[in-house]
Amino acid sequence: MLTHSQVRHMQERATRMLSQSGIVLTAREQEQIEVVDFNLNELERTGLELVVYINNDRYCAKELVMTPRQTCAQHRHPPLSETNPGKQETFRCRWGIVWLYVEGEPNPSIQARVPRGSESHYTVFHEIELHPGDQYTIPPNTWHWFQSGDEGAIVSEFSSPSYDEFDQFIDPRISRFTTVAE
C-alpha cells in the first residue's frame, strides 16, 4: 500500500524523467500518472509509472517510466474471447536501457537482476536489450518481464487495447492495481 505522498513523489519523479528526455506532459497527464507497485510494497524494486495517452477499443499508447533497476513483474496478456487473442504490444525504448525477457531460448546469463526472494516467479529468460530507438513487439499471451538499467528508462508502448484487469501474473501476491492509503 502506498501513501498519497509516495504517489505524488513518484509522479513528480516520472514527470522530471520524461521532461529530461524531451517528452512533455500536460498538467492533467502529470496528475494522472499511474504509480504501479503491484501491492508488493517494494516500489523501487518492482513497479513502474504509467502515462496512458489513449486506451480505446482499437488501440492504446502509453509511456512506461522506470527508476534505476526497477522491474515490471512477469506477466502475460491472455486471450479475452474467440475474436480477441489478447494484447499485442510494441515497446520502443526512448531513454536508458531496458532488458526485456520473453519466451524463447534462454540466455546463458542475463543482465537484469531477478528480485531477491521472487526467483520462482520469473521463468522466461530470452533477453532482448533495448537502447533508445530500439523496439520489440511482444505477441499476445506471451510471458514477459522487463527491467531498466542503472539510470532508469523510458519506454513507449503502442498496443492493441489494454485490459490490465485481465493480466496474468505468476506471483500470486500481485495485484495489478495499486492500493493508496487515504
Domains of the chain: 2-181 (2.60.120.10)
Residue 30: the pLDDT is: 97
Is 147:122 a contact under the CB 8 Å cutoff?
no
Three cell numbers, residue 61: 499508447
> Would you give per-residue pLDDT tens digits along the chain (182 residues)?
899 999 999 999 999 999 999 999 999 999 999 999 999 999 999 999 999 999 999 999 999 999 999 999 999 999 999 999 999 999 999 999 999 999 999 999 999 999 999 999 999 999 999 999 999 999 999 999 999 999 999 999 999 999 999 999 999 999 998 888 86
Q: Which long-range contacts (CB under 8 A, 24 or more apart) does 118-125 make?
A: 118/46, 118/73, 118/171, 120/170, 121/73, 121/74, 121/169, 121/170, 121/171, 122/74, 122/170, 123/74, 123/170, 124/74, 125/101
Nearest alpha-carbon partner for 157 in 69, 76, 87, 84: 87
Q: What is the pLDDT of residue 178?
A: 87
All 3 cell numbers of residue 23?
517528452
Contact 160, 79 (CB under 8 A): no
pLDDT at 135: 98
Q: Give the per-residue pLDDT at 1.
A: 83
